[in-house]
Structure 1
Amino acid sequence: MIVLLFLICLSASMVGSICGIGGGIIIKPLLDALRIMEADTISFLSGCTVLAMTAYSVGRGKLNKGSSHLDSGRSFPLAMGAALGGVLGKQLLQAVLERSESASSLGFVQAICLLFVTLFTLLYTLQKKRIVTHNIRKAWVCILIGMCLGGLSAFLGIGGGPLNLVVLYYFFSMTTREATENSLYVIFVSQCMSLFVSIVSRSVPVFASLILVFMVLGGIAGGMAGRSISQRIQDSTVEKLFVILMVVMIGICGYNIYQFSR
């Protein structure tokens, strides 16, 4: 099972790094579909894997300043909002878990939310050229947007996923590469806060430490490979890969909703 988890995290993080969606959008629903762990455990491990991958991607971007697309006027307020959203999202996750009859009920709620998010993202992406975008600069608006993205990231355990890109396209008129880098930055900050809250509140689920090690290693290796590949391909190729991925994830989410409802 450990080898399977490593390969899933490796491939998911590689694709997630290329598309700027963090990898959790693949890891979380795919592990839910395999039913090898409880939903809350999968959320936590997926979040840690995404954190490791984005830490590498953001760190490399900071070191390579010449290719950075982070704008302190917008990226920093977005990250501040994501940090607060990460705390709120984690609290919401715990509240839903406490009120659920089982971890499967939590998985059902997450699968429905993820299905709508993914479907909305796909529809927006297909119609993107017809949609008029904005170029928001106000810091307080950036903070609010980051809060929403960070909260969703922490609650679903997917690292923000595809919705980040849609929001960054629409509100900030970012290019694909700008949105990708800023998305990973927001994911990194929100997952840091989510992990911090889990540790402080002692809500870390029980799991074998070796599983976390191999998932994190897969996340980092996938992030390295994805960053290298993304520098060699065109934006149009990234967008095509993104659309294909969304279609696949909609199918997996639908399957998970069916499984959790039984």
Structure 2
Amino acid sequence: MIEIVYSAVVLIATILGALTGLGGGVIIKPMFDLLGQDTAVTIGVYSAIAVFTMSIVSIFKQTKSGFSFDLKTLLSISLGSVAGGVIGELIFNNFVTLFSNTQVKITQNVLLLIMLIFILIYTKNQNHFGKYRLKRFDSIFIVGLLLGAISVFLGIGGGPLNVAMLMLLFSFTMKESTIYSIATIFFAQLSKLVLSGVHGDLFNIDYKVAIVVSVMAIVGGYVGTLINQKLNETSVTRAYTMLMTALSFVSVFNVGQSILF
């Protein structure tokens, strides 16, 4: 039964993740927390598998359709994301040993809620913020480092923060940001999965669930990317904002549920 529920969540999450550049982890993590079937560690692994699989499909489809990356920017931010992913996973593993599963989930959801609120404020008022165009390798690397560390620690794939920062710091359009965000997520989640394997977390999951999650992520990544390519800039921005608002409410509910129960 749980495989059916998880598969539905992952399918919807990866469709929306590929469409808006969120990756899907930001939906999967709070929804799996809400279901309460697994620990924070196991949920983090399932989320990483889904987001990593979706990102492969999405990047392949975007490049096949003619999108070309600025390789210097992509490699700089991706290398930073890999390093950040390692740091984020190490911090998470230490956190798990020091605190209970409930405390870990509360911390993750509170930080996620704060992040979502600030991203919503930026998205709705982005015309009032300055626009930048980072060029130096070290500056771009540091951005990737921070994005990778935060996304892996929170177990969300990093999409919401990626998209906002890419628009702010690189002057990308929303649609450009969604594609670069997915590419950055690929590298961050790669480091997450490698470290999960090293620590043994990757081998303590239900493989039936992992297979279902992977298959749904492939379908979701394809469908979401297809929709992204057909929609205009305004429609993608509207979908992104609506999703951020809905996720804020889910995070509030998760925090309240964890504290009360």
Aligned positions, number: 259
SS in 2 for 1:231: helix
Counterpart position of 2:236: 238
Counterpart CA distance in 2 for 1:61 and 1:227 is 7
Q: Tell me what 2:35 maps to.
A: 34
Structure-2 residue corresponding to 1:134 = 132
Q: How does 1:1-262 map to 2 (within 5 A)?
A: 1-64=2-65, 66-68=66-68, 70-100=69-99, 102-204=100-202, 206-262=204-260
Displacement, 1:168? 0.4
CA distance in 2: counterparts of 1:221 and 1:61, whole angstroms: 15
Deviations 1:174-214 (A, max 9, x none): 01121111100110001001110111122336222100110
Maintained 8 Å contact 1:18/1:230: yes
Aligned counterparts of 1:205 and 1:116: Cα–Cα separation in 2:
32
Is the CA contact (8 Å cut-off) linking 1:40 and 1:106 kept in structure 2?
Answer: no
> Matches of 2:176 and 2:241 in 1, distance apart?
18
TM-score (norm 2): 0.96
Q: Distance in 2 between matches of 1:197 and 1:36?
A: 23
Aligned 8 A contact 2:61 2:225 in 1: no
Structure 1 pair 67–161 and aligned structure 2 pair: CA distance change class (3 A): closer
In the TM superposition, residue 221 of structure 1 has moved relative to its aligned partner by 0.6
Equivalent position amino acid for 1:73 in 2: K
Gaps of 5+ in 1: none
1:138-157 superposed Cα distances (whole Å, 9 cap, x missing partner): 01100000000011111111
CA 1:152–1:4 in structure 2 vs 1: closer, same or farther (change >3 Å)? same
Moved over 2 A (4+): 59-64, 201-207
Displacement, 1:132? 1.3
Equivalent residue letter for 2:251: C
Aligned residue for 2:172, secondary structure, equals coil
- TM-score, with length taken from structure 1: 0.96
Distance in 2 (alpha carbons) for counterparts of 1:202 and 1:43: 13
Q: State how far apart, in whole Å, the 2-side matches of 1:71 and 1:250 are.
A: 32
1:250 maps to a residue whose letter is S
More moved, 163-172 vs 53-62: 53-62
What CA distance in whole angstroms lies between the structure 1 residues aligned with 2:40 and 2:103?
9
Q: Is the 8 A contact 1:23 1:159 kept in 2?
A: yes
Distance of aligned partners of 1:207 and 1:201 in 2 relative to their CA distance in 1, 3 Å threshold: closer
Q: Distance in 2 between matches of 1:169 and 1:23?
A: 19
Task: Give deviations 1:53-86, integer Å, cap 9, x for gaps.
Answer: 001112233444x223x21121110000001001
d(CA) in 1 for partners of 2:31, 2:137: 36
Percent of pairs with identical residues? 29
SS at match of 2:201: coil
- Conserved in 2, the CA contact under 8 Å of 1:41 and 1:205? no
> Displacement, 1:259?
1.4
RMSD, aligned α-carbons: 1.1
The one-letter code of the counterpart of 1:14 is I
> SS in structure 1 opposite 2:72?
helix
